[in-house]
Amino acid sequence: MDIQEAIILFDALSQETRLKVFRLLIRSGADGLAAGALSEKLGTPHNTMSFHLNHLANARIVSSRKEGRSVIYTANFDVMAALIGFLVKDCCSDEFASIRQDRETGSSIIELANCCDPGQSPKNEGVLPQ
């Protein structure tokens, strides 16, 4: 992932409704949620939800599929993992974080270098996380 791709993703997620939608889709996993269910859960009008879902889909952070008369949306976990990897790849320059696949679960696991812990890095002395 390059910086321009990351900017597109941050733009898509930098609005309250879209971020809430994305978090709901992460929780729903591969099953996803219908657009109508997302509207109902967030109390958002259908046309407004459609606008936000299109914005997320154009950024490729969500995918959709048709099931009968419903459109089901799912989080694009590969894109999410790439964005997280982009954020942590330069952690401590030479001792960066890594993403690996867990053999048993197939899940992506992010392993941060010890220097990424604010308590371990001299660069972060006296700086409190916000």
In the chain, where the domains are located: 3-75, 79-116
The CATH code belonging to domain 3-75 is 1.10.10.10
| Cβ contact 38:24 at 8 Å | yes
CB 84 within 8 A of CB 58: no
pLDDT (tens place) for every residue of the chain, 130 residues total: 999 999 999 999 999 999 999 999 999 999 999 999 999 999 999 999 999 999 999 999 999 999 999 999 999 999 998 998 888 777 665 555 667 778 888 777 777 666 555 555 444 443 434 4
Alpha helices in 3-114 (DSSP H): 3-13, 16-28, 35-42, 46-58, 77-88
The reported pTM is 0.75
